[in-house]
Amino acid sequence: MKLKYFLMGAAAAVAMAPMANAGSHSSRGSDGEVKLIFWQAPSLMNPYLSGGTKDLEAAALVIEPLARYDENGNLVAWLAEEIPTVENGGVSEDLKTITWKLQSGLLWSDGTAVTSRDVQFTYEYCTAEGGGCAQAERFNDITSVDTPDDLTIVINFSVAKPFPYNPFVSFENPIIQAAQFADCLGPKAPECTEANFNPIGTGPFTVTEFRPNDVITLAANENYRDPNKPAFATVTFKGGGDATAAGRSVLETGEFDYAWNLQLAPDVLAGMAAAGKGVTVSGFGTLVERIMVNLTDPSADLGDERATLAHPHPFLTDINVRQALSMAVDRELLVEIGYGVAGKVTCNVLPAPAIYASTANDACMTQDIAGANAMLEAAGWVAGSDGIRAKDGVRLSMLYQTSTNAVRQDFQALIKQWWAEIGVETELRDIDASVFFGSDPGSPDTYQKLWADVEMYANNFSGSDPESYMANWASDKIPSPDTQWQGNNMPRFVNAEYDAMVAKMAVTANIDERAALAQAMNDMLMQEFVIIPLVYRGRVSAHSNSLEGVKLNTWDSELWNIADWSRK
């Protein structure tokens, strides 16, 4: 099997280490304080008890994984010596075993040695019964984690893993210290407040004071593996507020050095950047803003069978209608209004990495209202006196829901107008994000229930492997009363061919074949128009002019290389 892609990443990692050293002239702690502002405040520093991105970002300052993704989405060895592959013997031929080697001489911030036992413990911690570990999925199919010696970790899988780089990789899955968390297994996990707020780590900083949902102060780790790093002696990690204020404090008043994830209208951001105190940086991961089309009837009259497969949607089951909805959208304008440099037009639900991105659907890039009108006309949908098209008494009238967010509301208004131009009536509804993205089966407004005709939100996948992401639209992932409305196949898309491809991808090892499969699945979803992609969204952050070494990483933590940051 060819893992060229990942090998390249491994090579890059080796090349990177000396490079970074060459650039730095400072010694540890010589640059004083660096102040970060996150408009969402971290609640705890343990990624296994909270999957919230804000908590993961904060934890990335302190605890580290064996390997992580760099700013281009390539795997780089972090605590490990190198990325194990089949070629270097790290991954077994049958793809059921992967062997990681820790760098030698690694120390925890309390001065004790990092051993393979800590890695093994991390696995035990997350898979302990009753712990409710947020990253449990990353340890799926593991039969055992062995430690033949102090530096070697062998992970055995029960099935062949074409992509064995889930456990202990990326900021979602860092290594925690066995000694510190030994009494925190399973149901006892929440009781270890001290450990959850102040984990002992291998990263460049250690926690001095943790104030939940407010501010974290950190100091340079005395035992960090590079004696010259980090350049900063302390970190202040402030949380709370809103993106506008965070951007303002970096770009306009210069009170802070780094602001995370500034999801702001492009002209607002440009206005702030004009003050000249800082610059914005942007990068792209896999996040796509999309519209999900409901293929089942969400009418309230259906009672318990509302929005289930028992009742097909009155008009969205007509592919012509779905295609017309997509054609009427001017994606370039959406990008310009909503995201600026942090957005790109896309016609795919799987936009990256490059080997998975399809070009088969690019016709959607240009808006075609006339074409959409003609298509509806030909399909027998005729405009009535109120301008709304109808056929056999069924009017094209829809409820369009999304979460509350200024950009999404602008999108809703624009799309509503375009759809009106093709004779489709739209009622808008916005729902508070904590309800919309919750999965309370008692709430009618969750994104999974989709008790509306269409809905808009953004999603991505972690890491660079789309297997589980594409499996979201298999027919066994349809949310329904039987599954407590859990499952991510919101369009309720049923297609045997698609299901077959999902099954095939799970057993395919060859990277090119995997890419071909992923592309085919993406194309099928796109050409069925059950998902209407709108914008390929990047991430914008900002840092002050005096801060050096920031490399915005959308595949891993934004703070992944904070050890290399310094003051100009």
Partner 1 sequence: MTDAAQTAAPADDGSGHRAPRNQWWDVWDQFKTHKGALIGAAFFLFIVLAVFIGPLIWSIEATFIDIRSRNQGPSLAHPFGTDQLGRDTFARMLKGGQTSVAVGLTAMGLSLFLGTGIGVLAGYFKRLDGPLMRFTDLFLALPLLPLLLVIILLFRDPLRAAFGPETGIFILIVFVIGITSWMQTARIVRGDVLALKEREFVLAARSIGTPNNRMITRHILPNVMSPIMVSATLGIANAIITESALSFLGLGFPSDFPTWGRLLFDATDYLQQYPERVIWPGLAISLTVLSVNYIGDGLRDALDPRIRGR
Partner 2 sequence: MLTYTIRRLLVAFPTLLFIGLIIFLLLELAPGDPMSQVPLTVPPEVKERMREALGLGEPTHIRFYKWLVQFFIIEPQVFLDNTFGTAFAEGKQRVISWQTRSPVMDIVAQRIPQTLWVVGMSYIVGILIALPIGIISAYRQYSVFDQVGTFISMVGYSVPPFFSGVLIIVIFSVNLGWFPSIYDTTLVVNSWGTFVTQLKQMIMPVMVLALQTTAQISRFMRASMLDNLNQDYVRTARAKGLTESVVVMTHVLRNSMIPVVTVIALGVPGIFGGAIITEQVFKVNGVGQLLITSIYANDIPMVQTITFIFAVLIVSFNLIADVLYGVLDPRIRYD
* Binding partner of 215, given partner 1, partner 2, none, CB within 5-8 angstroms per partner class: partner 2
Number of residues that bind partner 1 (CB under 8 A): 31
How far apart are the C-alpha atoms of 423 and 171, rounded to whole Å?
Answer: 47
Which residues are CB-contacts of 59 (< 8 A; sequence separation ≥ 6)?
42, 45, 46, 47, 171, 174, 199
* Binding partner of 211, given partner 1, partner 2, none, CB within 5-8 angstroms per partner class: partner 2
State which of residues 11, 12, 341, 428 lies at the interface with partner 1 (CB under 8 A). Answer: 428
CA terminus-to-terminus distance, the chain? 45
How far apart are the C-alpha atoms of 451 and 262, rounded to whole Å?
Answer: 31
* Binding partner of 429, given partner 1, partner 2, none, CB within 5-8 angstroms per partner class: partner 1
* Binding partner of 187, given partner 1, partner 2, none, CB within 5-8 angstroms per partner class: partner 2
* Choice between 236 and 317, CB closer to partner 2: 236
Q: Which stretch binds partner 1 (CB under 8 A): 26-34, 260-268, 346-354, 513-521?
A: 260-268
| Minimum CB distance to partner 2, residue 190 (Å) | 4
| Minimum CB distance to partner 1, residue 426 (Å) | 9
Query: DSSP letter string over 316-373?
Result: TTSHHHHHHHHHT--HHHHHHHHTGGGEEE-S-S---SGGG---TTGGGGS--HHHHH
* Binding partner of 213, given partner 2, partner 1, none, CB within 5-8 angstroms per partner class: partner 2
* Choice between 142 and 414, CB closer to partner 1: 414
State which of residues 191, 255, 432, 512 lies at the interface with partner 1 (CB under 8 A). Answer: 432
Alpha-carbon distance values, 58 to 62, 115, 359 (Å): 8, 24, 37
* Binding partner of 182, given partner 2, partner 1, none, CB within 5-8 angstroms per partner class: none
State which of residues 50, 444, 513, 567 lies at the interface with partner 1 (CB under 8 A). Answer: 444
Q: Is the dihedral of CA 174, 250, 221, 232 positive or negative?
A: positive
Residue whose structure tokens are 């990690």: 237
Checking DSSP bridges between strand 33-38 and strand 234-239, what pairing results, if any?
Answer: parallel
Structure tokens at 543: 């840092």
Chain residues 269-328 in contact with partner 1, contact rule CB under 8 A: 271-272, 300
Chain residues 45-84 in contact with partner 1, contact rule CB under 8 A: none
Q: Judged by CB under 8 A, does residue 513 bind partner 1? A: no
How far apart are the C-alpha atoms of 491 and 498, rounded to whole Å?
Answer: 14
Which residues are CB-contacts of 227 (< 8 A; sequence separation ≥ 6)?
27, 28
How far apart are the C-alpha atoms of 109 and 364, rounded to whole Å?
Answer: 53
* Choice between 29 and 240, CB closer to partner 2: 240
* Binding partner of 421, given partner 1, partner 2, none, CB within 5-8 angstroms per partner class: none
Which residue blocks in 136-242 are alpha helix, DSSP H? 178-181, 193-197
Q: Which stretch binds partner 1 (CB under 8 A): 38-46, 181-189, 431-439, 556-564?
A: 431-439
Which residues are CB-contacts of 39 (< 8 A; sequence separation ≥ 6)?
239, 240, 241, 242, 243, 245, 246, 259, 260, 261
Query: DSSP letter string over 224-292?
Result: -SSTT--S-SEEEEEE-S-HHHHHHHHHTS---SEE------HHHHHHHHTTSSEEEEEEEEEEEEEEE
* Binding partner of 43, given partner 2, partner 1, none, CB within 5-8 angstroms per partner class: partner 2
* Choice between 422 and 478, CB closer to partner 2: 478
How far apart are the C-alpha atoms of 488 and 478, rounded to whole Å?
Answer: 7
At 40 the three-state DSSP class reads coil
* Choice between 44 and 342, CB closer to partner 2: 44
Angle, CA of 464, 134 and 53, to the nearest 5°:
60
| Minimum CB distance to partner 1, residue 351 (Å) | 25
* Binding partner of 333, given partner 2, partner 1, none, CB within 5-8 angstroms per partner class: partner 1
Chain residues 368-427 in contact with partner 1, contact rule CB under 8 A: 403-404, 406, 409-410, 412-414, 416-417, 427
* Choice between 82 and 330, CB closer to partner 1: 330
* Binding partner of 487, given partner 1, partner 2, none, CB within 5-8 angstroms per partner class: partner 2
Q: Which residues bind partner 1 (CB under 8 A)?
A: 244, 264-265, 267-268, 271-272, 300, 333, 337, 403-404, 406, 409-410, 412-414, 416-417, 427-432, 435-436, 442-444
